[in-house]
Structure 1
């Protein structure tokens, strides 16, 4: 069985998209191909509500424009908006790295903590975890004061910042950590070595969840809020061009 998974970056940084796809491919089973997708427009990073809401539409647009066949979508924006819209847009399984990471962490420990980038991202992550029904299992979300754009500038410094913040999250009561940014992908093993607890990378976890759903032959339910939208509804022209998702 061959499986094709789209790993959609939430920002327009093509280097980050390539890194996300590489981490996803490394985690994938033989026969699975992970294809990185970069939105055609939007911010270079999403670090707050405005950028998150804009990237949600850009990500929907990027997938709607695909003309190739694919089996599942991984949404590689931690705590970002759009997963519900994607599930209404397509019937293939949609796995958000936030959900995949937190669900996986809950199988590995009792209390989950998240280490993310900057303070402006915290509220969106809290919202996302609450919406997925896991707020009761998440005891701490802290920012390491590392901007998305600078993650790769000095990986050792980024790892040090995550370690320090991770120790604070553990002190808050967590016994499993989640990396709260797709740009942190690949640092889980190093942080596990330093901190001595399981550390979950959402990109790798999401690819594995997506593979499982495809293997099980499951598709998104259309019996509830993800029912097909009304295609007869009139839409006014969007400011950024005629988005394929509107047609």
Structure 2
């Protein structure tokens, strides 16, 4: 099995964190290829940035999807996920969707720990979009500006652990989701320090996608996730334009 992991952000160092955790989580024999968006934001905090990241992710996936059995959107909030499901025949999942699914299998109420205050409103809307707002205990975040997106785990490790503990003690969380690509792998390293299950979006996405590929459910030929109809367009990257014009890949 070969999986493509797409970072919708432009931070190659964060792609390295994502790829390392994806490979740790993958089953023996699963190959992981990770790619970074060619344009856009260093990291995503807002609705507008998620729109930019979604387009960047679709473009990157279109360039690299061949010879892969599934695709992962490796940014919390899953920018571009729905569009990729329309575009590709292979299964596609995202960090948020997979983390929420894992959390719901581990407890009744979950909390999310994030990297910035600004990101919280968008994350809440993402949870609502998946129909799980009644199971959300809280969203807590770092408050101070980030000096370096690639070193958030090292720079703020103790504060992140404290936030996880607060969601359990003060908010009643049964499960904690540590959110965001820059925090990939942190759940693995702090698991023994948090008194409830801790979920990582990258590892969840890898394991859920492996299951989807193994199930071999087929692709949508009709319905809301069928390929968009061919129509005139301009300014699109050549590979994406060709896929939209040619029918299913």
* Structure 1 residue ranges without an equivalent (≥5): none
Verify the 8 A CA contact 1:113 1:177 in the aligned structure 2: yes
How high is the TM-score relative to the length of structure 1? 0.90
| Residues 87, 220 of structure 1: 8 Å contact kept | no
Q: Determine which of 93, 96, 99 is the counterpart of 1:95.
A: 93
Secondary structure at 1:65 match in 2 = helix
State the aligned residue count: 241
Conserved in 2, the CA contact under 8 Å of 1:45 and 1:149?
A: no
Matched residues in 1 for 2:58 and 2:18: separation?
18
Hey, what's the Cα distance between the residues in 1 that align with 2:52 and 2:22? 24
C-alpha displacement of 1:44 = 1.1
* Structure-to-structure mapping, 1:87-236, within 5 angstroms: 87-145=85-143, 150-153=148-151, 155-170=153-168, 171-231=170-230, 233-236=231-234
Residues in 1 aligned to 2:175 and 2:84: alpha-carbon distance in whole angstroms: 29
1:3-22 CA-partner distances (Å, limit 9, x unpaired): 11011112011111122111
1:113-160 per-residue CA deviation (whole Å, 9 max, x = no partner) reads: 000111221122112111112222112112223666635436344221
Contact 2:3 2:71 in 1 (8 A): yes
Q: Is the 8 A contact 2:5 2:72 kept in 1?
A: yes
Structure 1 residue aligned with 2:62: 64
RMSD between superposed Cα atoms in Å? 1.9
Question: Structure 1 pair 37/147, CA: closer, same or farther in 2 (3 Å)?
Answer: farther
1:23-38 alignment, distance < 5 Å = 23-38=21-36
Number of the residue aligned with 2:3: 5
Counterpart of 1:15 in structure 2 is: 13
TM-score (norm 2): 0.90
Paired with 2:65 and 2:196, the residues of 1 have a C-alpha distance of 42
Q: Among residues 224, 242, 245, which one is paired with 2:240 in the alignment?
A: 245
Secondary structure, aligned partner of 1:236:
coil
Ranges in structure 2 where 5+ consecutive residues have no aligned partner: 243-249
Matched, 1:48 2:46: yes
Q: Distance in 2 between matches of 1:57 and 1:148?
A: 25
CA–CA distance in structure 1, aligned partners of residues 238 and 8 of structure 2: 17
Question: Residue 245 of structure 2 corresponds to which residue in structure 1?
Answer: none
